[in-house]
Amino acid sequence: MKRKNRYERILEEIFRSKYRRGARAVEFEREDMVRFCGKLGLPVPKNLGDLIYSFRHRASLPRAIQSMAGPGQTWIIRPAGRAKYRMELVTDKPLLPNPGLMPTKIPDSTPGVVAKYGFSDEQALLAKLRYNRLLDIFTGVTCYSLQNHLRTTVPDLGQIETDEIYVGLDKRGVQYVFPIQAKGLREKLGVVQIEQDFAVCSHKLPNLVCRPIGAQLMRDDVIALFEFGRDKDGVGILTEKHYSLVPPDEVTEADLQAYRKQLSK
């Protein structure tokens, strides 16, 4: 049986057993995944956390679950404490790149040896952000990488992970923290990740201005960068820009003139 089908059957069975008509949340625990594997006669996944990760970042929840959402709504999985989770009904706001945005050409400063030996889409993307100072360009703030793959525990949420943390300083002396979520071609940014990044900032660096950033690798090696905000309706996109890393001689005089015209608008 394919792993995706096994994951779907486990989650569907958990939802079916715990959902009550009209409910907007279904809570379950790590042990429920083990218990329902037994009921379904399925082998327990070696990495139970991958089941949750898959439905947060690679695929939508199974159709049997999403069919219980109304128009403009979707079910997501939120953390609810250590080894505890909550499937919750929320407004559907996909965090996807705008295909109509034109990319800005940036001379590629990624060292050739780094580009050659990058291990994964995510790691290669983080390296390109770092060596090309794309975060500085995107935010207008001088930024420094503080830590990769921060894994920590936040009260009421449990263990969470952020791909990279930057800190920054602007011309007025204001200090910022930028949690970064990086996604390759086959993955997607999720609302839950951004909510967790806000929580990490509040818990670990409460005196800095929190500005969560998403980086999504697109086709043709274009990088989409997002800055997120939140209000009473939840997380949303504040700013989006696309960047194309090219050899320096591919940034033409016509490109430079077009960028200068944008300054006057």
Domain locations in the chain as residue ranges: 3-91, 104-263
Give the span between the Cα atoms of 18 and 20, in whole angstroms: 7
Which residues neighbour 241 within 8 Å (Cβ) at sequence distance 6 or greater? 101, 104, 138, 224, 225
Coil/strand/helix, residue 18: helix
Give the span between the Cα atoms of 107 and 110, in whole angstroms: 9
Give the span between the Cα atoms of 94 and 126, in whole angstroms: 22
Residue 29 burial class via C-beta count within 10 angstroms: exposed 0-12, middle 13-18, buried 19 and up: middle
Give the span between the Cα atoms of 205 and 211, in whole angstroms: 12
Give, for all 265 residues of the chain, the pLDDT tens digit.
455 588 999 999 999 999 999 999 999 999 999 999 999 999 888 888 888 888 877 778 899 999 999 898 999 999 888 889 999 998 888 899 999 999 999 999 999 999 888 777 888 999 999 999 999 999 999 999 999 988 888 887 878 889 999 999 999 999 999 999 999 988 889 899 999 999 999 999 999 999 999 999 998 889 999 999 998 878 999 999 999 999 999 999 999 999 998 886 6
pTM equals: 0.85
Tell me if 28 sits within 8 A of 87, measured CB to CB: yes
